[in-house]
Amino acid sequence: MRDLMNYLSSSDIKIHHDFASFLRLNTLRFNYCNSSYQLPLSSKQRLEQYLSLGQPFLAPFGDINQADTLLAFSFGDSADVNTQLSALASNIQQLHPDIHVQLQQEIAQHYPNVHQASVIKNSDYQTTADIAREALKNIASREVIVVAQSWHAKRCIDTCKEQGWNVVGLRCVDDFPAQDPQPWVRNPLNWLIKESHREVATGQEISQYFQLC
């Protein structure tokens, strides 16, 4: 992380796509239709502040046996990553048949045994907080294992805790959906720009302002 902060401090305000490669634990390849984004100084500072909070992605942790419910958060609208999250949740349910499975609707569409799960759905856009809050209504226990995309996972966990969940573990996938309708989930750099500005604008507004693609 310190190497990344040094990179930011010494670079100009144009942030390049290989900037995000500093953050990877393994050699994944991502699609970028822009070679770089031109950020105003205030946005660069927001990005620096966001990264100073620590590693922006998480690894799996915790004992599933301590959880009474599984809560799976979608990542984007397309099938790419949500299919992987569905498979991950399904495998957990097969190994732990007593666990109560709760799925965001974009994941539930691909779930093989959806009749054995609670589906959290709404015709309107649902935030991470909406999902965590709605899931509270489906089970009395607060012991939860989170299933999420690894770069989304920290916010999912923090939000669950804010809503009253006791997060005992995480299972995650690393991929980004390159062709997703939501530009901010298509690659790591887009995600970092969006997350570092989420307190001041929506994902759509951020995508339009910075022309994320």
Residue 1 in any domain: the answer is: no
What pLDDT does residue 195 have? 94
- Total domains in the chain come to 2
At 128, which CATH number?
Answer: 3.40.50.2000
- Shared domain for 161 and 70, answered yes or no, is yes
- Shared domain for 195 and 116, answered yes or no, is no
Report the distance separating Cα 191 and Cα 114, nearest Å: 29
Asked if 46 contacts 114 with a C-beta cutoff of 8 angstroms, the reply is no
Q: Helix or strand or coil: residue 117?
A: strand
Q: Helix or strand or coil: residue 55?
A: coil
- Shared domain for 123 and 191, answered yes or no, is no
- Shared domain for 30 and 99, answered yes or no, is no
What pLDDT does residue 149 have? 98
Residue ranges of the chain with pLDDT lower than 70? 1-35
Residue 58's CB: how many other CB atoms inside 10 A?
19
Summarised one tens digit per residue, pLDDT across range 91-120 is: 999 999 999 999 999 999 999 989 999 999
Report the distance separating Cα 108 and Cα 199, nearest Å: 28
Residue 200 in any domain: the answer is: yes
Structure-token match 């995508």, residue found: 207
Domain span including residue 194: 13-57+178-210
Q: Helix or strand or coil: residue 164?
A: coil
- Shared domain for 94 and 134, answered yes or no, is yes
Residue 3 in any domain: the answer is: no
Residue 5 in any domain: the answer is: no
Question: pTM value?
Answer: 0.86
